Every structure is written in C-alpha cells, then in structure tokens.
C-alpha cells in the first residue's frame, strides 16, 4: 500500500509499505477514504515527541470502509463505512468502564502516563496511523462507529479528534452561564473550543492568536471576539483590562508544545529540546484567569519538564483540568449538534490534499502557508 512514512524531523514522504494484516481476533482492517493532518502531528514532524521511529506512519483522524475483520468481531462487517476515534481502547478496563477511553491501561505498554493513540509514536503505543491506504484497527468492536447515512464524510473525519477535543476543552472549563472564556490558539481545536463554549453557556468568548486568517475564522466560525497578541504590549494585562480587572472565568490552552509569544521558551523547546513544550500559552492562561478560576489544558505537551507557573496557580486557587479527549464519550451529543445544523465541523477545512502530496501538506501547515487551518487527506 501507499503510506506516509517518517524519515526524521521535517522529513516525511509517501512510500510503499506492507498492507496491515489481522494480528488478533478482535482486529479489523479499514481501507481509508479520508484522513487529516492534525496540529499535534506537527510536534512529531518537528521531532519533539520521543521514540518517533523512522518508517512510522502518522495520522489519528481517519474514516474508511471495513475490508476484513477478525473472527471475534461482532459489530462490524466488510463494507461498513466507519469513523475511528483517535483513542485505541480495550473497552473493558477500569478506565474504559468509566468512559475514560483516553486513559485505557491495556493498550500502551510503553508508558504509564499515556493511553494508546493511532500514529503518535511508540510513546503512545506504536500503532501505525491513518495517513495511508489501509490501517489495522485493534478492538474493532469498541472504538469505531458506523458513519450515519446523513453525515458528510468531512464532518465524520473531524469528529474523530478535532471537534470532540475542542468540545472537551470547553467542557473541562466547567463553564457556567455568562462566564467569560478566553481561548488561546485559533487552530482547529481552538476554534471548536470557542464555538463549543457558547453551547455550554458562555456569555463572552475571546480568542487569542497572532495570525490574521485564523482570527478571521474565529470571528466567522466561532462568533468570538479576537485579540492579536503581537499588537498589545502585554496580553495578560490587556485581557484583565477588558474583563474589569478581574480576569477571565475560564482560560483554555489550545496551543500546546509549540506556543509562540516568548522567544526563549520557544527556543528551549524547539531547538534545544530542553522542555516538553513551550509553556507560554499555559502560563498566559494561569496569569489571565481570575483567582479561583479554571484553566483547561487540551494542547499537547511532551513528557519532559516544562517551566509552568505552578506557584502562581496555587496561590490564585486555580482549578487546572486536563486530559486527552475520550472521543466516543462525546459522540452522542456531537452527532445531534451536527445533525441539527448547530455545528458543521467541515467549515474549518481549508485544503484537500491527495495522499501522494502529503509532504507538501505538512510543509504548508507547519509554515502557515496559504491560510492553511485544516487539511483533509484524500485517498482516492
């Protein structure tokens, strides 16, 4: 099959690779029709995640058609069109029983802090991802869902990670009616977090970024106020002044490991590899939220130390909530939002790229070229 493979930082290409096969009775093989490049894939692309091995295939957002199932699979059959959440999960452990699929303990022997994720290095289980023609799906009775007939394919692929993760970010904020919510980062997850904040009762939503086209999308897609952090002397002070000097009720970090805004932090992370991520956005959250407020962290960070203002968070009495999103837990409500027209995930898609040109897609997304926000990968 043709698949994207990793050849080192900033080097990805499409090569021939053996097709996946059934390795366990609960496996399924899916022929993919759509995938996507996620902002967190760029952390792998830039060499920031440990144990990202040469020859590995990225991609944790994908949909396709079942072509083969193991003898124990009961809920799927060849020909079913399925959407696969980015979490690999067993469905039966302590965490899966509580719908904490992102924390499944039976799918990642390589770490204690992370569950299993498709296409996200051996730190997250070593499962080849979906930027390929075919993918092996373990525990096929647990993760995938049949795509409803009424659902658009691009909506479906965005419901495998970006949209539920943004919704989860807003949910972690414990938003109360009328709250002021500040979202740092106007990428796809930040946009969905801002849009979802309204659904959960926010009275005011502000999105912070430094790119014109992303903030324009925040205004049109999320109906949010926007702030260019490069156009103010002190982003935290500006946010306090616009919130009656109290600070926001909820701040959401939708940026993660490669946050701009503080040169030394960014350099220590991306060049020297001294930190698991530049904590600029997270520290802005801690500083900009009011005392006793809530900080929601959904941006991806590596496992290494990051210089987070934990003392300030403690002294302000903040609640910090964070996790990887357990996608399936949010599907019932999000399906209804999409079906009713309240939410149309595909509105954030800006580019559609054939698999053979995926290297150009990574370069475009990483370098913020051509107003790229969310690229979809087409297989056929």
Q: Which of helix, strand or coil describes residue 365? A: helix
Cβ(334)–Cβ(146) below 8 Å: no
Alpha-carbon distance of 11 to 340, in angstroms, equals 42
Exposed/middle/buried for residue 157 (C-beta within 10 Å: 0-12, 13-18, 19+): buried
pLDDT at 272: 47
Alpha-carbon distance of 190 to 182, in angstroms, equals 10
- Measuring CA to CA, which residue among 26, 106, 136, 135 is closest to residue 74? 26
Alpha-carbon distance of 231 to 378, in angstroms, equals 38
pLDDT at 108: 93
Render each residue's pLDDT in the chain as its tens digit; 380 residues: 999 999 999 999 999 999 999 999 999 999 999 999 999 999 899 888 888 999 999 999 999 999 999 999 999 999 999 999 999 999 999 999 999 999 999 999 877 778 999 999 999 999 999 999 999 999 999 999 999 999 999 999 999 999 999 999 999 999 999 999 999 999 999 999 999 999 999 999 999 999 999 999 999 999 999 999 999 999 999 999 999 999 999 999 998 766 554 444 455 555 545 455 577 889 999 999 999 999 999 987 765 556 788 899 999 999 999 999 999 999 999 999 999 999 999 999 999 999 999 999 999 999 999 999 999 999 97
- Domains located in the chain, CATH noted: 2-161+326-378 (3.90.180.10), 162-322 (3.40.50.720)
Alpha-carbon distance of 228 to 244, in angstroms, equals 19
Residue with tokens 């479906």: 156
For the record, the structure tokens of 47 come out as 């060499």
Mutual angle of helices 162-172 and 327-340, in 10-degree steps: 100
pLDDT at 328: 97
189: β partners? none
pLDDT at 279: 78
pLDDT at 357: 97
Q: Taking the alpha carbons of 350, 181, 39, 82 in that order, is the dihedral positive or negative?
A: negative
Cβ(234)–Cβ(263) below 8 Å: no
- Measuring CA to CA, which residue among 112, 104, 143, 117 is closest to residue 52? 117
For the record, the structure tokens of 335 come out as 């399906």
For the record, the structure tokens of 37 come out as 């490049």
The Cβ of residue 380 has, within 10 Å, a number of other Cβ atoms equal to 9
């Amino acid at each position: 099959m043709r698949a994207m493979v990793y050849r080192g930082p900033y080097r990805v290409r499409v090569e021939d690779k053996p097709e996946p096969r059934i390795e366990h009775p609960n496996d399924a093989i899916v022929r993919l029709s759509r995938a996507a490049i996620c902002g967190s894939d760029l952390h792998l692309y830039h060499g920031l995640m440990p144990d990202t091995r040469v020859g590995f295939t990225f991609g944790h957002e994908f949909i396709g058609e079942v072509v083969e199932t193991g003898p124990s699979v009961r809920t799927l059959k060849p020909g079913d069109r399925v959407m696969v959440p980015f979490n690999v999960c067993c469905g039966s452990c302590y965490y899966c029983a509580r719908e904490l699929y992102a924390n499944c303990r039976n799918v990642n022997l390589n770490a204690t802090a992370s569950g299993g994720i498709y296409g996200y290095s051996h730190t997250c289980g070593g499962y080849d991802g979906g930027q390929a023609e075919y993918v092996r799906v373990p525990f096929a009775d647990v993760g995938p869902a049949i795509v409803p007939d009424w659902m658009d394919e691009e909506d479906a692929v965005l419901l495998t990670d970006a949209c539920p993760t943004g919704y989860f970010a807003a949910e972690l904020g414990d938003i109360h009616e009328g709250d002021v919510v500040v979202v740092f980062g106007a990428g796809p997850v930040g946009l969905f977090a801002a849009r979802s904040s309204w659904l959960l009762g926010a009275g005011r939503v502000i999105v912070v970024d430094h790119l014109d086209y992303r903030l324009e999308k925040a205004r049109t897609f999320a109906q949010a106020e926007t702030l260019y952090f490069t156009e103010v002397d002190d982003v935290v002070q500006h946010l306090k002044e616009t919130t009656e000097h109290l600070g926001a009720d909820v701040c959401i970090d939708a940026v993660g490991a490669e946050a701009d805004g503080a040169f030394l932090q960014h350099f220590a992370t991306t060049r020297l590899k001294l930190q698991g991520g530049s904590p600029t956005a997270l520290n802005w959250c801690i500083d900009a939220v009011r005392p006793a407020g809530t900080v929601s962290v959904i941006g991806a960070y590596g496992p290494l130390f990051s210089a987070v203002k934990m003392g300030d968070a403690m002294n302000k009495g903040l609640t910090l909530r964070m996790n990887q999103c357990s996608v399936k837990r949010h599907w019932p409500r999000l399906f209804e939002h999409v079906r009713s027209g309240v939410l149309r995930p595909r509105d954030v898609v800006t580019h559609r790229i054939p698999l053979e040109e995926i290297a150009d897609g990574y370069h475009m997304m990483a370098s913020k070229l051509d107003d790229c926000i969310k690229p979809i990968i087409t297989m056929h």
